[in-house]
Structure formats: structure tokens, C-alpha cells
Structure 1
Amino acid sequence: MPYGNSSNDPAPAQSRRHIFGNDAEQYDTARPGYPRQLLDDVLEFSALAAGEPALEVGAGTGKATLAFARSGVPVTCVEPDVRMARVLRRRCAELPDGSVGIEVADFEAWHPTRQYGLLYCAQAWHWVDPDVRWARAQAALSPGGAIALFWNHWVLQCGELADRLTAAHTRLGIEIPQDTLLDPRPRPARRGPESRQWREMTATGFVDPDHRLYTSVHERSTSALIGLLTSYSGYRALPPEPRERVFDRMARIVDEHGGRAHVKVVTSLFLGRTRAATA
């Protein structure tokens, strides 16, 4: 049986949200940040008052946190993994006191002591329990408060290289993990009102929905490309031996390709608001 996305997957999806903490430093090094224009758009949409804090769900190692905090927005971070939070604290140490508060907790069980004008979540909303996440967001936001959910989606620009890396998985009997660099499905798969995030958001009482896309291209060396693949939960969930075999084979292929690869990053942002208070 191939290794990968089967019913016998060694780390089912619901258990994977803590898998990134197994090597939080590697995750922090490998993952890219988010476009400056996205940050500006979120802040414009939320229209936070001066000094008004934002709430970040699943802050990880701070890929989005530092960008918001450096823009003058105080951030309360809720991060379920103590190992990721440790890296987050180190990265935020350079910021002025009071810029970032960190709570190590599952968002589903965390109880805010105030309401926020902005709740944002970078690359992590799918890890939050779908049965409660929207209600929990509503409870954490003030009337008229904004929600911003965003993800990076990656694709190799060179089709020949993608085909060779895909073939390496086939020869080794390893399924390509979903939502990764080599996943052949389009990402984002649906846009605007056709997307699941939009439908769920509006069905749970959020208004003024919007969906925006941002595109950038990054050059990665062989080691940096393998590092990105290593940071995916689907690869982390593979047993060590087949994982190392496929990484070794892919590294050789990229080296043969010239040791460089261009990765297109499409960042998908969903925006919405809670209903404003009525007079």
C-alpha cells in the first residue's frame, strides 16, 4: 500500500495541528511570509482605532504576527503548541513591551477577556474545529469587527521539474500529500462565493464578505525547496524512512535541474465582519 493520504495515515488530519512543533525552528526557516499589500488591505478593511489590539488565532512562529506588530497593531496571539510559541516569543523579543501577548491554548477552549476589532488567522484556520470556530470568532469580535483568514498556496513554475518530482513519488510508492507544492489540484480550488470559506462565513452571520488574491514568485535553492516540503504536515506525517528516501530523490532531481526552482505563491485572503450593533 502506498504511503500517504489513506485511511491508515499515521497522523490523521485532526491530530496534525501539533505536528509542526516537532521542528518549530525548521518550520520558521522554511515558510515564507505574506505580502505587504495583504497586510495593508486587512488593516484598511478592519479600520482599527489607534492602539486597538488584534487577535491572532494559531500564530505559529510569528510569520504574520511580526508584520502586524511592526505596523503598530498590538497583537494577542493564541497558539496551541508550546514549542511553536517558544519560537514566537523569541522572534517577538525585539519588539517593544506590550506589542505582543502570547497565550498557549486551543482557540476552541480559550476565553478572551475582551472583544477585538480584528481577528486574523494565517495558514491555520483549517486546523480549528469547524463545529465551533465561527461561533468562537463571533464571540471574540466586537460588533462590526473584522475577520481575516489567509493562506499561501504554492506551485512550481516549471512543469517539467514538477513532473519529474511527481514521478519520483510514484516510483517510491508515496502519495503526494494534499495541499502541497506538487498537489495537482488547483489552489485555491474555489473563489469568491463558490469557496467553502465564503459560504461558511456568510452562513454563520458574517457580512461584507470579500476574497482577494496576491501573487508572487520566489526562487529557491535545492535545500530551501526541500525545506519547504519538509514543513508540510503531510510529509511530516510520513514514516521517517520513506520520507527521507523521497526527499533525497527530489534533492537529486532539483540539483540536476540546476539547483534552483521558481515557486509561484498565490496568497488567498478572505475578509468579513460581524454585524454592527443596532441603535
Structure 2
Amino acid sequence: MATEEHDRERRQVFGDDAEQYDTARPGYPDRLVEDVLDFAALPASVPAVEVGAGTGKATLAFAARGTPVTCVEPDARMARVLRSRCTGLPHVAVEVADFETWRPDRAYGLLYCAQAWHWVDPAVRWARARAVLRPGGAVALFWNHWDLEDLRLAERLTAVHARYGLAVPPYTILDPRPRPAGRGPRARQWREMEADGGFAGMEHRLYESAHERSPSGLIELLASFSGYRALPAALRDRLFRDVGRAVEQDGGSAGVRVTSSLFLARSRA
């Protein structure tokens, strides 16, 4: 129970500065969004549901292609930014609710979740997915995983953390452990869907991209991760000051590789 409560608290920290999160986080590849919609093959009248929509980083990409979307977001602060981003999009509805207890009034042809499925209670998430989908409905779960292109800079920034007695937070851009992006059938998401027995036609796809971050841009990205948001503000500010200085001394920018990992499946008829 303590772990579940901790996870619930961690997933709520993103709303502490929802605008900052929206600015810092990159979106998702156009090809990924198109592949999801091709896989789902939604009839025009059948909507999609987005779980943990946040501030709309994925929502806008699907809505721009005309997909009717119901967004389920547990944090009212994130939902407030989401609604502002979706002004003028009548085919996007926003509901503030936990997916675990949300009760839809219709069946959906596509359930997608960007960067948030791991926050949904594992005891019920697959049963809830099956409950909201019509037979044959599609599931699309995707994440961005980041790495610094310059390993030497990554080592310097890790040393900055060590000076403050801090380990690099897990699943962040400096985490040296292998990313789960390429695991395919060995990934937890795949194995859980197989074990649930309610899904078929599973696929895994990867998308690669890269961009440059200024010192402040890299700090903004770090600040969007829950492991950094959970630090005491004064300590976090000192850490980020030294991170920025290290990037400045290393040429003034940091190359970031992004691997977008997509899991697809269909609910069994």
C-alpha cells in the first residue's frame, strides 16, 4: 500500500507546474500517430479515449487528424492547460478523473496513452482497458525515451549530481541503465497483455529522432521528470544551476536522442 500511495503522489507532481511540463516535453513523431490511426482503422463515428492526457502533447496530434477524443486526466491542473490547448476543437472532450474509477457512457474504438500507462494501477489497468473498448478495439501505448548523445557530457552531469550526494533519478535522460524501449516482447507491457489474455495482434515499433537543447532547455526537460520534481526546491535549484554551467562549458548545447516506443494490440472480440 505504501508503494501505491507513493506512486500516486509521484504522478501528481507533474501538475505542480503544468505549464512548465507542457513547454519542456517534446511531442511524438507524426509517423507514430499515423501508424496508430492506421492500426486502429476507426470509423468516422467511433471516438478514441486518451488515458492520462496531461497537457495534450499527444492529444493535439490526434485531434489535428480529425479524431474525436475523450481525454481522461486525473490532475485538474494539467486538465486546465489541456482544455486551453484544445480551445476551438469541439471533437475533444476533457474529463477530470482517475482512469481506474472512470465510467464511460460509450465504447471506444481506440485507447491510447502517451507517457502515462505506468502510472495506472497495474491491478486493474488491463481490465479497465478491455471494459472501455468495443470488441476488436485497438490499444496504443507509447513513450519517449531520452539519451544524451555525448557520453562525456553525461558523465560530467552525473558527477554534478554526485557532488550533491544525489543519484540520477531512474528513467531520466542521464539514467545509465538500458532503456526499455527496444525490448519488444520482453517488455513489461507486452508480457502483461499476454498474461491478461484479453488482447491479440500485438506489435512493437520504434521511432528515432534527435534535437539540440540549450542549457536552459535541458534543465527544463530534467525539471519535467517526477524524480527531479520530488527534490526539495532549494536543492533542485542548486543542482540545475550547476547542470547549466556544465553544459555552457561544454559548448553551450546538448544533443538529445529520442527513441519513441509504441506497443499496439487489439481487444479480443
Both structures adopt the same fold (TM-score exceeding 0.5)? yes
In structure 1, the gaps of 5 or more residues are: 1-7
CA contact (8 A) 1:51 1:73 kept: no
Query: Paired residue for 1:3?
Result: none
Q: Deviations over 1:129-187 (max 9, x none)?
A: 00000000000000000000000000000011101000111111011100000000111
Structure 1 equivalent of residue 163 of structure 2: 171
Alignment of 1:11-22 (within 5 A): 12-22=6-16
Candidates 119, 137, 162, aligned match of 1:127: 119
Are the counterparts in 1 of residues 164 and 239 from structure 2 also a CA contact under 8 Å? Answer: yes
- Which aligned runs of 4 or more in structure 1 are off by greater than 4 angstroms? none
Counterparts of 1:9-48 in structure 2 under 5 Å? 12-48=6-42
- Give, in whole Å, the separation in 2 of the partners of 1:19 and 1:119: 24
Q: Give the number of equivalent residue pairs.
A: 266
Partner of 1:258: 251
Matches within 5 A, 1:61-210: 61-95=55-89, 97=90, 99-188=91-180, 191-204=183-196, 205-210=198-203
Residue type matched to 2:122 in 1? P
Identity %: 66
The alpha-carbon deviation at position 208 of structure 1 amounts to 0.5
Measured in 2, the distance between the counterparts of 1:73 and 1:138 equals 20
Structure 1 distance, partners of 2:266, 2:48, is 14
Residue 94 of structure 1, CA deviation: 3.3
Partner of 1:52: 46
TM-score, with length taken from structure 2: 0.96
Pairing of 1:202-221 with structure 2 (within 5 A): 202-204=194-196, 205-221=198-214
- 70-79 vs 48-57, which deviates more? 48-57
TM-score, structure 1 as length reference = 0.93
Distance, in Å, in 2 between the alignment partners of 1:233 and 1:38 is 25
Q: How well do the aligned residues superpose, as a CA RMSD in angstroms?
A: 1.4
For 2:224, the aligned partner's letter is S
- Residue 242 (str. 1) matches residue 235 (str. 2): yes
Distance in 2 (CA, whole Å) between partners of 1:80 and 1:13 is 13
Cα distance, 1:190 vs structure 2:
5.4
* 1:199-232 deviations in Å (ceiling 9; x for gaps): 0012112111111110000111111110000000
Alignment-derived partner of residue 226 in structure 2: 233
